[in-house]
Structure 1
Amino acid sequence: MPRGLVGRSLIAALLFAAAVVPGWILGGLAERWTGSALLDWIVTGAWAGLAVRLLAPWASYRPRDAWLGVIPLYNWYLVCVLSWRVALLPYRDWEPRDDELWRARWLTGDLLGYWRADSPPPVRRQRERVRAATSPAAARRTR
């Protein structure tokens, strides 16, 4: 069964704290060492962007959305959404994107209203995609 509201909230709060607090600490240290408040914002934003990059594939966001994680204040909202979604895994209460439908299943019975999706697929490099597309056609069936 999926987690209840209290368990999911606790996990989401811990994920949010783990994603944001180290950036605040590193940003504060950078400001203390250099005296630049701008550097504090840059370090904090970069850390939140990294957190968004790591959580994004698990919560139906694209890894390139990490650039949105660099925008001040919006990054905290985005980390909240991602933490809330990741806290429910392996079940989902949001509809998967079109490119995720191949691995998502709509659940029935007691779990009606939830989706189940396996872990995100590994990111293949461009070279591997080209090699797979240019493989010999000997194994292809032609009629």
Structure 2
Amino acid sequence: MGRDASPRGLVGRSVIATAVFAAAVVPGWTLGGLAERYTGSQLLDWLLTGAWAALAVRLLAPWTSYRPRDAWLGLIPLYNWYLVCVLGWRVSLLPLRDWEPREDELWRARWLTGDLIGYWRADPPAAVRAEPVRAGARRPR
């Protein structure tokens, strides 16, 4: 993804967000349903469904200006689906952002101008390559 990325349209972004939601919810539903079928425990069904959604929140959180510890919110029934929807909507626009970065992300965020006004860009910092030091080399004064 180059620096000249353009925002996705509404349809493309919606399709990606729907796919993220489906990948975050359907496997948990399936596992929970199978567990309930074999054990008869509805509580186990809810626990597996919630744990899968919490895992999805944990994986998506760093990319969407949420903290990894917010995965605990993914354990709350029904709220976890809302949270997955928000994270999926945000992931579908990356590498651009239409939300303000958290305070600890501001050091690497850029407010875009021109055709992309209203969007943020927060690329990971480029790795700085140090020049190799020869053995026995003296430092200049």
TM-score, L = length of structure 2: 0.83
Q: Does 1:42 align with 2:47?
A: yes
Q: Report the Cα distance in structure 1 between the residues aligned to 2:109 and 2:39, rounded to whole angstroms.
A: 48
Please state whether the residue corresponding to 2:8 is helix, strand or coil: coil
Give the one of 23, 29, 32 matched to 1:27: 32
Structure 1 segments, 4+ long, off by >6 Å, are: none
Q: Report the Cα distance in structure 1 between the residues aligned to 2:99 and 2:124, rounded to whole angstroms.
A: 15
TM-superposed deviation, 1:119:
4.4
In structure 2, the partner of 1:59 is 64
Q: Report the Cα distance in structure 2 between the residues aligned to 1:25 and 1:53, rounded to whole angstroms.
A: 20
Asked if 2 retains the 8 angstrom alpha-carbon contact of 1:53 and 1:65, the reply is yes
Please state whether the residue corresponding to 2:110 is helix, strand or coil: strand
Q: Report the Cα distance in structure 2 between the residues aligned to 1:66 and 1:91, rounded to whole angstroms.
A: 23
Where in structure 2 are the equivalents of 1:1-143 lying within 5 Å?
A: 1-119=6-124
| Residue identity in the other structure for 1:88 | L
| Residue identity in the other structure for 2:102 | R
Q: Report the Cα distance in structure 2 between the residues aligned to 1:118 and 1:70, rounded to whole angstroms.
A: 30
Asked if 2 retains the 8 angstrom alpha-carbon contact of 1:58 and 1:119, the reply is no
TM-superposed deviation, 1:102:
1.1
| Residue identity in the other structure for 1:51 | A
Unmatched runs of 5 consecutive residues or more in structure 2: 1-5, 126-141
In structure 1, the partner of 2:135 is none
| Residue identity in the other structure for 1:63 | P
TM-score, L = length of structure 1: 0.82
| Residue identity in the other structure for 1:114 | Y
* Bigger proportion of residues as helix: 1
TM-superposed deviation, 1:118:
1.4
Larger Rg: 2
Please state whether the residue corresponding to 2:82 is helix, strand or coil: helix
Q: Report the Cα distance in structure 1 between the residues aligned to 2:28 and 2:109, rounded to whole angstroms.
A: 33
In structure 2, the partner of 1:141 is none
